[in-house]
Structure 1
Amino acid sequence: MPPLFRRRLVTGPRSRTHPLIWLLAILCTIIAIAVVIAGIVVFIGYLVIHPRIPVISVTNARLDLLRNDLAGLLETQITIVVKAQNGNAKAHATFSDISFNLTFQGQAIAVLVADSFEVPKNSSKDLNYVVQSSSIPLTPDQMEQVNESWKKNEIAFDLRGNARSQWRVGPLGSLKYSCHLNCRLKFNPMNGTYIPSRCTSKSK
Structure 2
Amino acid sequence: MAPKSKLSTSRERATNPLVWCGAIICIILTIAVIIGGIVTFIGYLVIHPRVPYVSVMDAHLDHIQIDYAGILEIQVTILIRAQNGNEKAHASFSDSSYSLSLNREVVAQLVAPPFEVGKNSSVYFNYVVPSSPIPLRPDQAEDVDAGLKKDLIIFDLKGSSRVRWRIGSLGSVRYLCRLDCQLRFHPLNGTYIPSRWATRISGTSLKPKSSQVCFLGNTRLNAYM
TM-score normalised by length of structure 2? 0.68
Contact 1:177/1:203 (8 A) holds in 2: no
Aligned twin of 1:138: 136
Residue 168 (structure 1) aligned to one of 161, 166, 169: 166
Q: What secondary structure sits across from 1:145 in the alignment?
A: helix
Q: 1:115 to 1:46 in 2, by over 3 A?
A: farther
Q: Which residue of 2 aligns with 1:116?
A: 114
Structure-2 residue corresponding to 1:199: 198
Tell me whether 1:85 sits opposite 2:86 in the alignment: no
Tell me how far 1:172 sits from its aligned partner. 7.7
- CA distance, structure 1, for counterparts of residue 133 and residue 105 of structure 2: 11
Show the counterpart of 2:47. Answer: 49
Q: Deviations over 1:118-161 (max 9, x none)?
A: 11111111111001242111111111111111111000010000
- Residue 45 of structure 1, CA deviation: 5.0
How far residue 199 of structure 1 moved from its aligned partner, in angstroms, is 2.2
Between 1:63-72 and 1:44-53, the stretch displaced more is 44-53
Cα deviation for residue 55 of structure 1 reads 1.2
Distance in 2 of aligned mates of 1:174 and 1:46: 13
2:88–2:168 CA contact under 8 A, matched in 1: no
**Structure 1 residues 143-152 or 185-194, which shifts more?**
143-152
Give the 3 Å change call, closer, same or farther, for CA 180–96 of structure 1 in structure 2. same
Check whether the contact 2:49–2:167 (CA below 8 A) recurs between aligned residues: no
Q: Hey, what's the Cα distance between the residues in 1 that align with 2:43 and 2:113?
A: 28
Q: Which residue of 2 aligns with 1:158?
A: 156
Q: Is the 8 A contact 2:147 2:153 kept in 1?
A: yes
Matched, 1:127 2:125: yes
Aligned residues of 1:55 and 1:203 also touching (Cα < 8 A): no
Partner of 1:62: 60
1:54 and 1:133 map into 2 onto residues whose CA distance is 32
The equivalent position to 1:104 in structure 2, one of 102, 105, 129, is 102
The answer to whether the 8 A contact 1:55-1:86 is kept is: yes
CA-to-aligned-CA distance 1:31-76 (integer Å, 9 cap, x gap): xxxxx9xx88x94654532211111100100001101100110010
Q: Is the 8 A contact 2:63 2:131 kept in 1?
A: no
Tell me how far apart the structure 1 counterparts of residues 200 and 53 of structure 2 sit (CA, whole Å): 6
Distance 2:178 2:155 in 1: 17
Give the deviation of 1:89 after TM superposition: 1.5
What is the alpha-carbon distance in structure 1 between the residues aligned to residue 109 and residue 44 of structure 2? 34
Tell me which stretches of 4 or more aligned residues in structure 1 moved more than 6 Å: none
Aligned to 1:61, what secondary structure does the other structure show?
Answer: strand
Greater helix share, structure number: 2
Does the CA contact (< 8 Å) of 2:100 and 2:110 recur in 1? yes
Q: Which has the larger radius of gyration?
A: 1
Q: Between Structure 1 and Structure 2, how many residues are aligned?
A: 167
Gaps of 5+ in 1: 1-35
- Deviation (angstroms), 1:170: 4.4
